[in-house]
Amino acid sequence: MEFSQKLYQAAKPIINDIYEDDFIQKMLLGNIQADALRHYLQADAAYLKEFTNLYALLIPKMNSMNDVKFLVEQIEFMVEGEVLAHDILAQIVGESYEEIIKTKVWPPSGDHYIKHMYFQAHSRENAIYTIAAMAPCPYIYAELAKRSQSDHKLNREKDTAKWFDFYSTEMDDIINVFESLMNKLAESMSDKELEQVKQVFLESCIHERRFFNMAMTLEQWEFGGKVND
């Protein structure tokens, strides 16, 4: 079994939990609250900006010009390619995407996720650690979306179905490249090192779950603690 497949197998329980959590279940039914979608889009805008920067940090770690070319293309996709998915949710909210993301948010779950990825990029010379931190994002979106296509709960009369349709196909290229890179880099690593990479991958899967849940709770920093009326 290739290394990437071992990672996916280990991540299955987490992805199952994400699928059963409120965000995805309400998206399937098409009854998710506008406030949750707005908070998700605002936090995701901040996340995607940093995710794009991480692609740039990966480029110097690449040995192949083809890999560099693909990463540059992915930067362009991050800037423009997910516009359709964002617009689908913005239309449900009833505001333009540009108007929604004028309000900047940086919730704890997004903060911790981004810092997890940057730590791998800055502290590890081997690109596999950064890739392992980034790879769960497209992989989990694709897995959730593909699973939705055969789920009777997917409400085709609601616009949220289009969001699932988008991610059921649009992540395949980056997933394949991340798989190829990880499998190639894993060949020269020890079992102990590969276990560390697996840990990085699974931590990002947990961060993905917390990110979706963050939208449902409208998560914010509670610097003053919770006030009990």
Instruction: Specify if 226 maps to a domain.
Output: no
Q: Which residues are annotated binding-site positions?
A: 44, 141, 167
- 19-58 residue pLDDT tens: 999 999 999 999 999 999 999 999 999 999 999 899 888 8
Question: Which of the residues 2, 137, 143, 179 is marked catalytic?
Answer: 137
Instruction: Specify if 211 maps to a domain.
Output: yes
Annotation says 205 is catalytic = no
Instruction: Specify if 228 maps to a domain.
Output: no
For residue 161, what are the domain limits? 3-217
Measured CA to CA in angstroms, residue 128 lies from 63, 125, 136 at distances of 12, 9, 13
Instruction: Specify if 229 maps to a domain.
Output: no
CATH of the domain at 39: 1.20.910.10
Instruction: Specify if 190 maps to a domain.
Output: yes
Question: Which of the residues 170, 203, 208, 219 is marked catalytic?
Answer: 208
The pLDDT score that the predictor gives to residue 59 is: 84
Tokens at residue 13, please?
């329980």
Instruction: Specify if 224 maps to a domain.
Output: no
Domain tally for the chain? 1
Instruction: Specify if 223 maps to a domain.
Output: no
In the predicted model, residues of the chain with pLDDT beneath 50 are 229
Annotation says 137 is catalytic = yes
The pLDDT score that the predictor gives to residue 21 is: 99
Q: Compute the distance between CA of residue 109 and CA of residue 13 in angstroms, rounded to an integer.
A: 20
